[in-house]
Amino acid sequence: MTELALPSRVDLLLRGGTVIDGSGAPRFLADVGVTAGAISFVGEAGRCEARQVLDVQGLVVAPGFIDSHAHDDRAVLADPGMQAKISQGVTTVINGNCGNSLAPFRKGTVPPLPLRDVAPQYQFDNFAAYLDQLQAHPASVNVASLVGHTSLRVCHVRDLGRPATQEEALAMRQAVQAALQAGALGLSTGTFYPPAAAATQEEIVAVGADLARYAGVYATHMRNEGDGVMEAIDESAAIAAALGVPLVVSHHKVMGAANFGRTVQTLDKLRLLSQTQKICQDCYPYTASSSLLRLERLQQCDDIIITSSRTMPDCAGARLSELAVRWNCSREEALGRVMPGTGMYFMMDEADVRRVLADPATIIGSDGISADSYPHPRLWGTFARVLGHYSRELGLFPLEVAVRKMTGATAMAFGLQGRGELRVGHAADITVFDAGSVIDRATYLAPTEPALGIEHVIVNGTAVWASGVPTGARPGHCLRRSDS
């Protein structure tokens, strides 16, 4: 329990709650005081007075959740209320994952699919302009961002089917340096996807050469999460080691029935590697992934739900097998008709999902794609599902561990200073929830149902979610590396 600089008066007092502070330490009863956007008191009841008092008896008071793996680059500007996130207790999103960041954008080029068709007011030719826009037009949540290698490739590599030339790699390196200077948290890659699949290990090391100087991280959607997952881990670790920076393995999983159970090996390998370098992984709590529609996936996966289609938008939400029956054609032909687009692939084993979630080096990230017309339920459900289903119902780990995986451990992994733990001096990002009832309600059939049991969400001292409804306030900060 921390009791620094005991104030007699605070702006807001959360009275009588059970604090789970995000460090992994056991819960304790305490009042929590907020003054001028920061936590000013954590301690014994009756020790300070407040202009505004919130009775939170019987509820858990935790640091606001940090979505370590978000694709809300555009959403935080276009839909700043961010209800999908605040309704599950998220107070900070980390954007720019999987190689795809909204900035920089270059006119005349075709950005990676999730960022295509972006209106001119969301096109930024440099990363600093994007962050400045976020600062000028705050969302309900705090926003931090990685700069994406795929987005840079699209701007600077003339032929995306080959590795970058030296000059192209240098141009990307300079753009990364500018983004880091502006406040990017690090570099993300997505060599699984075509615009970056031709990039070699050498290319990525050349592009990220300045990361260490700015204490950036390297986050990667690895080249392979199926048969070649072990080699992909080796490649990712080698890149991070060459760059001298921490590695974040994005949405760690193994895909395809032939690979079920292999997370025993992948987690062993990651554990072994982390004896000599800093490594963590993020994970979402579902057995279906969500990604671009690709013909080669058909052999590995017999259950696919369409989440968006550029050619046939009305098909969002339909199962591919149902479309094939409706159109009296093969699944291949049906997929061809709805491409390009995105889909949910049921290709994971529940035991693997639990094993990854429970690993001490795993943090929670939604990987939710807010641009999809029929999103994967992870967009609205991830955090409540980890708390309610995996911690409370299945007992996979204690609530203190669940909270740490979405707060303190995440802030540490991404170098977010002054957030992630509920302690005096930290920013007042606070989520108050009912441990007995918190649960996700978003499903594959009803993917945008808000979670239950999240009572209050406070961002920088201002309520954005009060008694289960949004307040409309937009107190989010643009979090820049090292000055967050």
Among residues 156, 221, 385, 456, the one that binds Zn ion under rule CB under 5 A: 221
Which residue number, 98 or 247, has a Cβ lying nearer to Zn ion?
98
- With contacts defined by CB under 5 A, name the span among 59-67, 205-213, 221-229, 319-327 that binds Zn ion: 221-229
Under the criterion CB under 5 A, does residue 253 sit at the interface with Zn ion? no
Least distance in angstroms from the C-beta of 150 to Zn ion: 10
Under the criterion CB under 5 A, does residue 98 sit at the interface with Zn ion? yes
- With contacts defined by CB under 5 A, name the span among 91-99, 139-147, 296-304, 428-436 that binds Zn ion: 91-99
- With contacts defined by CB under 5 A, name the span among 26-34, 92-100, 270-278, 325-333 that binds Zn ion: 92-100
Which residue number, 98 or 144, has a Cβ lying nearer to Zn ion?
98
Helices (H), 71-227: 75-78, 83-86, 127-136, 149-156, 166-182, 194-197, 201-207
Residue 255 CA to residue 366 CA, distance in Å, equals 18
Least distance in angstroms from the C-beta of 11 to Zn ion: 40
- With contacts defined by CB under 5 A, name the span among 131-139, 167-175, 220-228, 353-361 that binds Zn ion: 220-228
**CA 101, 103, 107, 111: dihedral to nearest 10 degrees?**
0
Least distance in angstroms from the C-beta of 290 to Zn ion: 9
Which residue number, 223 or 419, has a Cβ lying nearer to Zn ion?
223
Which residue number, 98 or 304, has a Cβ lying nearer to Zn ion?
98
Using alpha carbons, select from 256, 285, 411, 421 the residue that is nearest to residue 358.
Answer: 285
**Angle formed at CA 178 by CA 172 and CA 180, multiple of 5 degrees:** 105
Exposed, middle or buried by CB within 10 Å (0-12, 13-18, 19+), for 2? middle
- With contacts defined by CB under 5 A, name the span among 167-175, 214-222, 301-309, 344-352 that binds Zn ion: 214-222
Which residue number, 368 or 453, has a Cβ lying nearer to Zn ion?
368
- Secondary structure (3-state) at 352: helix
> At 20, which amino acid appears?
I
Using alpha carbons, select from 387, 415, 414, 389 the residue that is nearest to residue 399.
Answer: 387
Under the criterion CB under 5 A, does residue 427 sit at the interface with Zn ion? no
- With contacts defined by CB under 5 A, name the span among 97-105, 129-137, 152-160, 439-447 that binds Zn ion: 97-105
Least distance in angstroms from the C-beta of 190 to Zn ion: 6
Using alpha carbons, select from 256, 292, 294 the residue that is nearest to residue 372.
Answer: 292
* Residue count, binding to Zn ion (CB under 5 A): 2
Which residue number, 259 or 289, has a Cβ lying nearer to Zn ion?
289
Least distance in angstroms from the C-beta of 448 to Zn ion: 21
Using alpha carbons, select from 92, 181, 71, 171 the residue that is nearest to residue 128.
Answer: 181
Contacts (Cβ under 8 Å, ≥6 apart) of 454: 87, 88, 89, 384, 431, 432, 433, 438, 465, 468
Residue 408 CA to residue 334 CA, distance in Å, equals 45
Using alpha carbons, select from 253, 441, 258 the residue that is nearest to residue 350.
Answer: 253
Least distance in angstroms from the C-beta of 192 to Zn ion: 7
- Which residues bind to Zn ion, rule: CB under 5 A? 98, 221
